[in-house]
Every structure is written in C-alpha cells, then in structure tokens.
Amino acid sequence: MPGSFEASVAWALLDPLEPVPHHIADSGGSAARRFAVHRNNVVVGLIRALQARFPVVEKIVGDEFFAAMARVFVAKSPPRNPILTTYGDEFADFIAAFEPARELGYLADVARLEAARTRSYHAADSAPVDPSRFAALDPNTVGDIRVCLHPSAELVWSSHPIVTIWAMNSGEQQLGTIEDWRGEDALVVRPHLDVEVRLLPSGAAVFLHALGSGGTISEAAEAAFADHAEFDLSRSLAELIRSGVVVEIIAP
C-alpha cells in the first residue's frame, strides 16, 4: 500500500475495492459517496481518453466491450504523466494478453498502429528532402549514402492486414471482405500537416528500419533481401522518396 496521502488517493481512485483514504474528511457520513463519484469521474475520463486515441479498436469491438476492456486497463496501468493525449502506449500489449479479445488476433496490432499515429502527430516538425535531390545523386555512389528519417516516422509490423483493417474502419477505404488475408507493414509519418499511414511493399519495413539505424542504402537493401527474397529495391526507393520520410541525405 502506498505511504503518501497523494499515492493512497491515486491508488484508491483506480481500485473500487480500496476504502476511502482516512485523511479525507467525512462530513455526515458522505465521504464514501462523494469519493465514489470522484472515482467514477476519473475512470470515465481515462476511458474517454482511450476512446479518443483508439477509435478503430473501439469500432471493431463495439462500445460496451471497449469500455469494459478499457476499465480493466485503467486499473492496471494508470497514467504516468498529465498529458492524456499520449495515454495508452501500453494498451496494445494489454490487448494482446486480454483473454476476452483472444479471437481477434489482429486487434493488438491495430492498436499499435493507432498509438503510432498519435505519437507521429505530436512529434517534432521537420521538412522532407526535396525529391530533386535524389534525382541529382550519382548512381555509382547512391548505395553508399545514408539518410536521416523524419522524427515522426514509425514502423508497425504485423502478420495481419492491419493497414487494410484500419483503413476500412477509419473511413479511408470502403468496408468490405478482405480476400487476401496476409501480413502488412505500415509506415506512419507526418511529413507535413497530416499523419499518413502508408502500406509498405514486401521487405520495405526492414529496409527503412536499417536506414533508420544508420545503415547505408546498400546495407539496408542487403538486410531487406536477406529477410524477404521478393524485396524490390527500386520500388522501396520510390516509396522512400514519395513518402517524405527522409529529412537529410548524408553523402559518403
């Protein structure tokens, strides 16, 4: 049990089985009732913060299921900072272990995608490299260059078609049956004002990850080929340029 008054109040707010902290004054026996109202308001506020950050997850499972799942999460993982727009970074891992959602194997990865979109939105601004700078590179040395990726860039990997699922449930794409159920990797980036979710071709996530780790174009391509025999370097380079994810080119 936490020792400080503030900690004991925070603990009791999120656990309905905890008694009212004894430091709270009781006027006419109403402390328990008033504290219960405050406790409910706090929990409801945190659930609403999760609803705002994970609207596609909520749409997939429904309002009641989401609220019940979020309530359990709130009790286990209270906020660690006062900025509620970033609350729920651990929600995807929680969903992956949440037994009632076990049959929806893709749900945790959809939550990871939505969490990445929020982080991308709040990341630092940076101007993407003009595509003409790529066109001016020497083809004989292009494999030796390194790049710096946009601060908002995140990769989300999945063995499920999470980009398609997210698009269909967010209004980006018409809702329908997914005939080709296969893994999809996403690039989440905000090169300008709006956050973009881009479906990456096979091996491109490995390629971008290697570039983001400081590898050269050649080293990143080698890593992608080793992981995906069907990796298309030309297509991935085109996506690299088109997405606006590169903010600096470092010549050899």
Q: What's the chain look like in SS3? A: CCCCHHHHHHHHHHCCCCCCCCCCCCCCCCHHHHHHHHHHHHHHHHHHHHHHHCHHHHHHHCHHHHHHHHHHHHHHCCCCCCCHHHCCCCHHHHHHHCHHHCCCCCHHHHHHHHHHHHHHHHCCCCCCCCHHHHHCCCCCCHHHCEEEECCCCEEECCCCCHHHHHHHHHCCCCCCCCCCCCCCCEEEECCCCCCEEEECCCCHHHHHHHHHCCCCHHHHHHHHHHHCCCCCHHHHHHHHHHCCCEEEEECC
Q: Looking at the structure, do residues 76 and 128 belong to the same domain, yes or no?
A: no
Q: Looking at the structure, do residues 224 and 132 belong to the same domain, yes or no?
A: yes
CB 19 within 8 A of CB 12: yes
Q: Looking at the structure, do residues 38 and 69 belong to the same domain, yes or no?
A: yes
Taking the C-alpha atoms of residue 28 and residue 241, their distance in angstroms, rounded to an integer, is 69
Q: Looking at the structure, do residues 135 and 87 belong to the same domain, yes or no?
A: no
Q: Looking at the structure, do residues 138 and 78 belong to the same domain, yes or no?
A: no
Residue 154's pLDDT is 98
In a domain, 218, yes or no: yes
Q: Looking at the structure, do residues 131 and 217 belong to the same domain, yes or no?
A: yes
pTM of the model: 0.84
71, 104, 137: which is the final residue of a domain?
A: 104
Residue 119's pLDDT is 96
In a domain, 117, yes or no: no
Q: Looking at the structure, do residues 59 and 1 belong to the same domain, yes or no?
A: yes
Q: How many structural domains compose the chain? A: 2
154-156, strands of its sheet edge to edge:
154-156, 186-189, 196-199
**What would you measure as the largest C-alpha separation in the chain, in angstroms?**
84
Residue 103's pLDDT is 95
CB 165 within 8 A of CB 177: no
CB 228 within 8 A of CB 207: no
In a domain, 112, yes or no: no
In a domain, 113, yes or no: no
Q: Mind listing the pLDDT tens digit of every residue in the chain (252 residues)?
A: 445 545 554 555 555 545 555 555 555 556 555 555 545 566 888 999 999 999 999 999 999 999 999 999 998 888 887 778 889 999 999 999 999 999 999 999 999 999 999 999 999 999 999 999 988 888 888 999 999 999 999 999 999 999 999 999 999 999 999 998 999 999 999 999 999 999 999 999 999 999 999 999 999 999 999 999 999 999 999 999 999 999 999 988
Residue 18's pLDDT is 54
Q: Looking at the structure, do residues 62 and 160 belong to the same domain, yes or no?
A: no
In a domain, 111, yes or no: no
Q: Looking at the structure, do residues 77 and 178 belong to the same domain, yes or no?
A: no
In a domain, 181, yes or no: yes
In a domain, 110, yes or no: no
Q: Looking at the structure, do residues 163 and 95 belong to the same domain, yes or no?
A: no
User: Smallest Cα–Cα separation from 187: which of 240, 228, 143, 224?
Assistant: 240
Domain of 192 in residue numbering reads as: 124-252
104, 137, 169: which is the final residue of a domain?
A: 104
In a domain, 116, yes or no: no
Q: Looking at the structure, do residues 79 and 190 belong to the same domain, yes or no?
A: no
**Residue type, position 219, single letter:** E
Half-sphere exposure of 144 (CA within 13 A, CB side): 6
Q: Looking at the structure, do residues 61 and 4 belong to the same domain, yes or no?
A: yes
